[in-house]
Amino acid sequence: MNRNGDTRQPGDSPAGLSIRESWAEWFDRHSRTFFIAPAVTLILIFAIFPTFYSILFALSRVKFSTTGLRFRFVWFDNFYNEFTGSEQGHFLGRLEGISIFGWLFILVVLAAVIWWLYWSFRKGTSWVGMTGRLISAAMAIFVAFLLGSTLLSGNLWGTLLTTLFYVIVGCSIQFVIGTGLAFLCSQPIVGKNFFRVIFFIPLMITPLGVGYAFRMILDVTKGPFQPFWKFVGLGNWAWSTNAWAARSFVVLGDSWQWIPFIFIIMLAALENVPRDHVEAAQVDGASSIQIFREITWPQIVPVAVTVILIRMIEAFKIVDLPNIMTSGGPGIATESMTLHSYFLWRANDMGSSAAVAYLLLILTVVVCASFFNYVVLGQLRKAHA
Amino acid sequence: MSDTSYKFEKANRGLLERLFEPPAIGQMSPVAKLVAYSLLTFWSAFVIFPIYWVVITAFKDAAAVNQGPYYIPFLDFQPNLDAWRVLLSVDPFCDGYAIVRQFGLLAHNSVAFLLQPLVHIEPMEPQICKIYLSFTNSLVIGVAATALCVTFGSMAAYALARIQYKPKFGNIVIFVILTLFLIVATSFFDIPWYVSSSVALALFFLLARVFGKRFKATLGNGDILFWMISQRILPPVVVIIPVYMMFQAVGLLDTHLGLIIIYAVANLPIVVWLMHDFFASLPIELEESAQLDGSTRFGIFWEIVLPLTGPGLAATTLLTLILNWNEYLFAVFISTSKAQTMPIMVAAKNAGERGILWWEMCAIIVIMIIPVIIMAIVLQRFIAKGVLLGAVKG
Amino acid sequence: MANGKPGVQVSFDKIQKSFGAVRVLEELNLQVEPGEFLVLLGASGSGKTTALRILSGLETATAGRVLIGDRDVTSILPKYRDISMVFQSYALYPHKTVAENIGFPLKVRKIPLADREVAVRDAAAQVQLDQLLHRYPRELSGGQRQRVALARAIVRRPSVFLMDEPLSNLDAKLRGHMRAELKHMQQTLGITTIYVTHDQIEAMTLARRVAILERGVLQQLATPAEIYNNPANLFVAQFIGSPPMNVVRGALEGKTFLSNDAKVTVSVGGRIAKAVLGFRPEDCSVVATAKGAIRGEIYTTELIGDHTLVTLKAGSDMLTVKAAKDFTATPGEKAGVAFNSSHLYVFDESNGQRVR
């Protein structure tokens, strides 16, 4: 039927007729490359290359001169410095005089880890798996050693343990509170959307701002809680001179900022539990607690472990809050490894700065990869099998 | 066969049950309601209070800040605009035309930068209202970085979702070796970086071709995706010193372009992770039918796939924009005066000798927060629909 | 009748339900006999699922009472109503085994493990699932999952079964098989069952009585036979029956139904300007134009296998007639429809009611 004077007939443009190649054709044929090239190039030049370049810094002593930078190759000196040399106290903490409790703790952990390795070996884990487990085990024993020598022996600890403190204690608190809030918001309450929006906001404020805000608020003499501090007899207390108080307040600020992240994702997960399942349990007579424990929680565990992993990855990088709230003090009590690296850079010790940065990278990778392999994969396997 | 029937007996409900059980499905028991609302209200207060405190501090004067806590404007203290006056008028030229001048400055310097190899144009000095400078810088850098990041990131994510890549493991090894060679050459043997880079690049293509056939082991899409997403684990401190050196060598220090690039790279993993999930969940039949109709791959991407992932794309863009807006670490290393962003200005109010000028600092924080809160409200709506949930589940 | 345990009566007493301004159920009055299999039949939006959920306690009625046995359960939580429900999606807990799924209602009531296991095994045996007790739902087929849901419903021996379109997710062949199983099981256990569906075949085959709902209003409550042969209104008449009942629009004058192409003698009288004549495809035949009460032309013929379905165009109406399997005709041929039974129905078009 010719409607618009269209005189084309079936068969007029047979397949295979070559059209003059145009730009668009050429782009399309090479679209494989063009789509992914920009992202890959950017990452290669500005992330991978600098990472390798950093190795050079970490393995040298760097000096500024009139012609630019002078590198003096010193192999692993910078690293030895951190672990056994002048920086040991800064990085690891004071390791002398380990108490009985310390030794006991270290031995218990050592035994548990060795038993775990043995059991994995007997179970028939592959060689790759065993290597991974050995690395995780080494890290676990090392951290246990540090804990035993510092915390349990009355010694000060260094930036490595401070960072781990922020990550592990911080993430646990944030997860518990965040999930609790999400659970409350998933109940039939009035004003759900209002709470949602309000609870979401702290995540979006620059960490710098959060640091300064909390510094202001926690100020004992001029902050809004001054009457409270006076009431409990701490009217002149400078919390920034107390190591544990300072650390706790940093975790407080960090939690204020990051609980929304956990909240928002866990809330979405809770709301995605099929309503049918909950109703079936209600008809069968289960109470709210039973429903949460037996029906809801098992279904949100995969999301829960994933969100903990993501939070942990970000938490290792913490720098703004300790910097602003206490400048890493008192002494080095609240200094995270990123802050440590930053201070070294400011002191023009670029080699050590890069070394500490690399140690942070290694720490992050080992802890997160271990968590991912043993916890996340385990849960995902259970859910999808 | 058991004949017993298992029942709950309503008559046996004690006080405890009446308190703790909901009166009907879809409602909460009295105790639960009490606990829930009080906890939620407490947490809302906990969330709002710091923001409230910052906002009112922006309207206090030195005395009101330093002489103890004042809580309610007009009742406890007189709000005044000291901080705002300092921000907006003590700096010279802080008038209405400052914004226009600011963009003019930006345009002038961008053109000068682009034409650098050909002709040298004197860049304009930013002796303009500091607050406008940092605001426009934050805005321009944030938006540009987000645009770059989302564009490249979605393209890469789409490619990884639809095209099968098989990068050769051998090529990767060659790349790593050549990178190390490049670093050593530039740093220890003082070969100019453009020479050693070109040589390394040329060598790479040569060696890839020669050895390509020998080593057959390949990686897959999953590996590439994992590699891209795991860049997020990289602490910025590892990267920042070399990037500083690199930018210094090319003249990108304290420029907008430098910050835009580094911000884009920092947030690329998030964009790729989220968008890949969206693209992978689209039914492939739509794209196949478009292919039969003769559309190019980019055409399909632009006309069919992107519109379908509308909410996901919007949510990802907003998230990236907020992250770029708040970024501080890179800015503090790379920008010194011309490319200062708002977080730097906030930190600058920590003036040292005079102590922290809290009221001025809070004023800047307030200016920073307002756009973010608006964006956050919009973003929250997307997340509420479970838009980003799929990515987290996988 | 089984196990010596009599079923209980279930009543809807003036139940109304509105969601905001939208009225979903209009004053529903319904009594279900003890041990009866009642089907709530209707299209989507008819209110049938809402009525079921009100009965279960998952929704609260805006007005009216629900009685189970002689207890007023209107404001009582589902768990005290002694009911079980089978959901359309089965609602099997994915992280629990089949045995744990079936035993969940007992676990919730803190029945000791030993008794629980006995009851679970009994229930599983009744639905032929005893070999699959240790599997997970994701490893089962659709039909098996459906049986797990059934087993979970019967393990407690409740007073009432509620089923919300349990067969709609199965393929046609399996559906037929499960229908028979379901009917047999209900008859053996003798538990009062209320079953919601939109599929008229399920309603006709399973129910002792059918309650048809449309837009929240009960259209007719009767046995399948009654509904088929004695529909109360035009909606019921056209909803039940496949292919659907033929309708011709015209007027009723005395005992004659008249339209442009039809002149039919009927058994009811009256004077209705806008009337509708209804008759089923199997109650008529295709004849020569002159001999037919309705005149039209052949539109298409479709061979079903054991009969041929003939579609005729009469004026603006399309009529379907079941003819013999060797019937042939050419489209466009003029033909007529003759009636070979007294199953002719006349409806008043203004209110859809049947004229008796």
Residues 283-342 of A with CB under 8 A from C: 283-287, 290, 294-295, 298-299
Token readout for A265 is 């994702």
Mean pLDDT of the region C134-138: 91
How far apart (Å, rounded) are the C-alpha atoms in residues A6 and B371? 55
In this structure, are C151 and C21 located in the same domain?
Answer: yes
Please give, rounded to a whole number of angstroms, the shortest distance from the CA of A122 to a CA of chain C. Answer: 27
Token readout for B165 is 């890549």
How far apart (Å, rounded) are the C-alpha atoms in residues C127 and C148? 8
pLDDT bracket for residue B2 (50, 70, 90): very low
In this structure, are C276 and C132 located in the same domain?
Answer: no
Answer positive or negative: Cα dihedral of A143, A149, A153, A157.
Answer: negative
In this structure, are C234 and C285 located in the same domain?
Answer: no
Is residue C69 within 8 A of residue B10, CB to CB? The reply is no
Token readout for C73 is 């359960």
Residues 204-223 of A with CB under 8 A from B: 204-210, 212-214, 216-217, 221-223
Highest mean pLDDT among A118-132, B300-314, C320-334: C320-334
Chain C contact set for B10 (CB, 8 A): 76, 80
Among C77, C78, C106, select the one facing B6 at the smallest CB separation: C106
Smallest CA–CA distance from B8 into chain C, residue: C80
Chain C contact set for B25 (CB, 8 A): 57-60, 77-78
- Following DSSP, what letter does each residue of C179-218 receive, concatenated? HHHHHHHHHHH--EEEEEES-HHHHHHH-SEEEEEETTEE
Q: Which helix (H) or strand (E) holds B303?
A: none
Angle (CA) C241-C246-C251 rounded to 5° is 135
**Per residue of chain A (385 residues), what is the pLDDT tens digit?**
445 555 666 666 555 545 555 667 777 778 888 888 899 999 988 999 999 888 888 888 887 777 667 778 888 888 887 888 777 878 888 787 788 888 888 899 999 999 988 888 888 878 888 888 889 889 898 888 888 888 887 778 888 999 999 999 999 999 999 999 999 988 888 888 888 888 888 988 888 889 989 988 888 888 888 888 888 887 778 888 888 889 999 999 999 999 998 998 898 888 888 889 999 998 888 888 888 888 899 888 888 988 999 899 999 999 989 988 888 878 888 889 999 998 988 888 888 889 999 999 999 999 998 888 888 787 777 766 5
pLDDT bracket for residue C315 (50, 70, 90): confident
Quick check: is C5 in a domain? no
How far apart (Å, rounded) are the C-alpha atoms in residues B205 and C283? 84
Give, as one character, the DSSP assignment of residue C110: T
Chain B contact set for C77 (CB, 8 A): 21-25
| Confidence check on the interface: ipTM exceeds 0.85, yes or no | no
* Alpha-carbon C234 to chain mean position: 16
Smallest CA–CA distance from C88 into chain A, residue: A276
Please give, rounded to a whole number of angstroms, the shortest distance from the CA of A262 to a CA of chain C. Answer: 24
Give, as one character, the DSSP assignment of residue A296: I
Chain B contact set for C57 (CB, 8 A): 24-25
How far apart (Å, rounded) are the C-alpha atoms in residues A381 and A368? 18
Chain A contact set for C87 (CB, 8 A): 276, 279-280
In this structure, are C200 and C268 located in the same domain?
Answer: no
Q: Do A283 and C83 touch (CB under 8 A)?
A: yes
| CATH number, domain containing residue B103 | 1.10.3720.10
Neighbours of chain B (3+ CB pairs under 8 A): A, C
Quick check: is C316 in a domain? yes
B48, B80, B112: which is the final residue of a domain? B80
Best CA proximity match to A312, nearest among A172, A177, A184, A200: A172
In this structure, are B201 and B327 located in the same domain?
Answer: no
Token readout for C110 is 């803190």
Smallest CA–CA distance from A295 into chain C, residue: C93
Quick check: is C4 in a domain? no
- CA dist B44 → A206, A227, A260, B382 (Å): 19, 22, 11, 21
Mean pLDDT of the region C314-338: 90
Smallest CA–CA distance from C71 into chain B, residue: B10
Classify domain A156-384 at the CATH class level. mainly alpha
- Beta pairing partners, C209: C38
Block residue for tokens 């690199």 = B246
In this structure, are B245 and B152 located in the same domain?
Answer: yes
The C263-279 sheet, strands edge to edge: C246-258, C263-279, C344-348
In this structure, are C63 and C153 located in the same domain?
Answer: yes
Quick check: is C2 in a domain? no
Best CA proximity match to C51, nearest among C199, C133, C162, C200: C162
* Alpha-carbon A264 to chain mean position: 17
Q: Do C87 and A383 touch (CB under 8 A)?
A: no
Q: Do C109 and A285 touch (CB under 8 A)?
A: yes
Q: Report phi then psi at C43, rounded to 5.
A: -80, 175
Please give, rounded to a whole number of angstroms, the shortest distance from the CA of A72 to a CA of chain B. Answer: 9
Chain B contact set for C158 (CB, 8 A): 5
In this structure, are C281 and C312 located in the same domain?
Answer: yes
In this structure, are B135 and B277 located in the same domain?
Answer: yes
Of the residues C81, C89, C136, C150, the best mutation for testing chain A's interface (the one with the most A CB atoms within 10 Å of its CB) is C89
Sequence-ordered strand ranges (E) for chain C: 10-19, 22-32, 37-41, 63-68, 71-72, 83-86, 160-164, 192-197, 209-214, 217-222, 246-258, 263-279, 284-287, 294-303, 308-314, 317-323, 334-339, 344-348
Angle (CA) C52-C58-C60 rounded to 5° is 90
Please give, rounded to a whole number of angstroms, the shortest distance from the CA of A285 to a CA of chain C. Answer: 4
Return the pLDDT at A95. 80
In this structure, are C201 and C339 located in the same domain?
Answer: no
Residues 50-69 of C with CB under 8 A from A: 56-58
Q: Is B343 helix (H, G, I), strand (E, B) or coil?
A: helix
Measured torsion, CA atoms of residues A347, A349, A354, A355, in degrees rounded to the nearest 10: -120
Quick check: is C167 in a domain? yes
In this structure, are B329 and B289 located in the same domain?
Answer: yes
Best CA proximity match to B226, nearest among B394, B386, B387: B394
pLDDT bracket for residue B262 (50, 70, 90): very high
| CATH number, domain containing residue C338 | 2.40.50.140
Instruction: Please report, as a single letter, which amino acid is at residue B2.
Output: S
Residues 245-284 of A with CB under 8 A from C: 274, 276-277, 279-284
Quick check: is C98 in a domain? yes
In this structure, are B259 and B277 located in the same domain?
Answer: yes
Quick check: is C187 in a domain? yes
Residues belonging to chain B: 394
In this structure, are C183 and C297 located in the same domain?
Answer: no
Please give, rounded to a whole number of angstroms, the shortest distance from the CA of C156 to a CA of chain B. Answer: 6
Among C59, C80, C156, select the one facing B5 at the smallest CB separation: C156
pLDDT bracket for residue B91 (50, 70, 90): low
Quick check: is B15 in a domain? no
Best CA proximity match to C89, nearest among C142, C152, C153, C158: C142
Chain C contact set for A280 (CB, 8 A): 85, 87, 91
Chain A contact set for B246 (CB, 8 A): 50, 53
Mean pLDDT of the region B249-264: 87
How far apart (Å, rounded) are the C-alpha atoms in residues C80 and C82? 6
Please give, rounded to a whole number of angstroms, the shortest distance from the CA of A3 to a CA of chain C. Answer: 29
Q: Which domain holds residue B62?
A: 30-80
Phi-psi region of C29 (alpha: psi -120 to 50; beta: other; left: phi over 0): beta
- CA dist A265 → A79, A270, B324, B386, B390 (Å): 39, 9, 21, 9, 10
How far apart (Å, rounded) are the C-alpha atoms in residues C163 and C87? 6
Task: Give me the half-sphere count of Cα atoms (radius 13 Å) on the Cβ side of residue A212.
Answer: 27
H helices present in chain B, as ranges: 15-20, 30-57, 62-66, 82-85, 98-114, 130-162, 169-188, 193-212, 221-230, 236-250, 256-280, 284-292, 297-300, 306-308, 310-326, 329-334, 342-348, 358-384, 389-393
Q: Which domain holds residue C305?
A: 252-348
Token readout for A306 is 């994933």
Q: Do C108 and A290 touch (CB under 8 A)?
A: yes
User: Domain count of chain B?
Assistant: 3
Please give, rounded to a whole number of angstroms, the shortest distance from the CA of A278 to a CA of chain C. Answer: 8
Instruction: Enter the pTM of the model.
Output: 0.84
How far apart (Å, rounded) are the C-alpha atoms in residues C288 and A18? 63
Smallest CA–CA distance from C118 into chain B, residue: B2
In this structure, are C14 and C153 located in the same domain?
Answer: yes
In this structure, are B241 and B149 located in the same domain?
Answer: yes
Quick check: is B16 in a domain? no
Angle (CA) A290-A294-A298 rounded to 5° is 140
Quick check: is C356 in a domain? no
In this structure, are B275 and B361 located in the same domain?
Answer: yes
How far apart (Å, rounded) are the C-alpha atoms in residues B77 and B64? 7
Return the pLDDT at B17. 67
User: Domain count of chain C?
Assistant: 2
In tens, the pLDDT along C230-248 reads 999 999 999 999 899 999 9
In this structure, are C267 and C329 located in the same domain?
Answer: yes
Q: Which helix (H) or strand (E) holds C82?
A: none
Quick check: is B54 in a domain? yes
Among A38, A47, A272, select the one facing B239 at the smallest CB separation: A47
In this structure, are B322 and B173 located in the same domain?
Answer: no
| A242 part of contact set with chain C, CB < 8 Å | no
- Beta pairing partners, C264: C257
pLDDT bracket for residue B1 (50, 70, 90): very low
Please give, rounded to a whole number of angstroms, the shortest distance from the CA of A94 to a CA of chain B. Answer: 25
Please give, rounded to a whole number of angstroms, the shortest distance from the CA of A107 to a CA of chain B. Answer: 32
Token readout for C181 is 């199983």
Give, as one character, the DSSP assignment of residue C283: G
In this structure, are B211 and B286 located in the same domain?
Answer: no
Give, as one character, the DSSP assignment of residue C33: P
* B223 has pLDDT over 60: yes
In this structure, are B355 and B244 located in the same domain?
Answer: yes
pLDDT bracket for residue C229 (50, 70, 90): very high
H helices present in chain A, as ranges: 23-29, 31-43, 49-58, 77-83, 88-91, 100-123, 127-150, 159-185, 192-200, 207-217, 226-231, 243-271, 275-284, 288-291, 297-315, 320-326, 337-346, 350-371, 377-384
Quick check: is B368 in a domain? yes
Domain boundaries, chain A: 30-73, 95-154, 156-384
In this structure, are C207 and C265 located in the same domain?
Answer: no
Residues of C with a Cβ under 8 Å from any B Cβ are: 3, 5, 57-60, 75-80, 82, 105-106, 109, 111, 115, 118-119, 122, 156-159
How far apart (Å, rounded) are the C-alpha atoms in residues A167 and A159? 12
| A301 part of contact set with chain B, CB < 8 Å | no
Chain A contact set for B21 (CB, 8 A): 287
Chain C contact set for A303 (CB, 8 A): none
Return the pLDDT at A247. 92
